[in-house]
Amino acid sequence: MIASPFTSPFLTADVLIAYSAYFVGTASPGPSNLAIMSLAMSSGRRAALVFALGVVSGSFSWALLASLGLSAVLASYSQCLVAIRIAGGLYLLWLGFKSARSALGAGKPAASAARTGEPLGRLYLRGLLLHLTNPKAVLVWLSIVSLAMSPVHGAAHVLPVVLGCMAIGATVFSSYAVLFSTASARRIYVAIRRWLDGSLAIMFGIAGLKLLTSKS
């Protein structure tokens, strides 16, 4: 089928499929979203947005590698992925330990980042590391780029897909930060803090162990 010259490269069928796949994967509850949600309720909007910016930056890094074809080279060297998987697993276990310690701590919620003086740069790095140490991000972006590589258009739609998915990711992650930093959300956090931190500890622990024990 001949593509219309008036068809936007951002709205072709292949690109829309890639957008949909990325949106579902990004909006679904996962380590990054749950960490942003918890931070927004406990430390406020500013801290959560900075953390989310780190997550988006990590995603953009993998997107850049995928669009340049470098992540395919990385994927061909199993030792590199093993190293990333081990680092990611250990980092998730560390996050799980922190959440468990918070859940077992005193009844009062943890002080906000602003009160404890935690630098925003540190929050950014935490978000960045959470995504950079996730080997699944490499595979996700490889699949997204593959969806964009249609037989008709070749690599012409890779850039629109990457830009569109980055906009989707930034919107989703920042929405988590904004929605869960409202006064009502923080009141809910005070009531369910231990349950939430305990759930995060379990989820981070399972995800970390799964990465460390995975053979692929």
85 vs 163, higher pLDDT: 163
Residue 215: how many other CB atoms lie within 10 Å: 5
Which pLDDT belongs to residue 185?
A: 81
Which pLDDT belongs to residue 186?
A: 76
155 vs 23, higher pLDDT: 23
Pick from 110-119, 142-151, 155-164: least confident: 110-119
Mean pLDDT of 25-32: 77
CB 191 within 8 A of CB 41: no
How much of the chain, in percent, has pLDDT values that exceed 70?
72
Mean pLDDT of 15-28: 77
Give the global pTM.
0.71
Question: Could you tell me which of 59, 49, 50 has the C-alpha nearest to residue 176?
Answer: 49
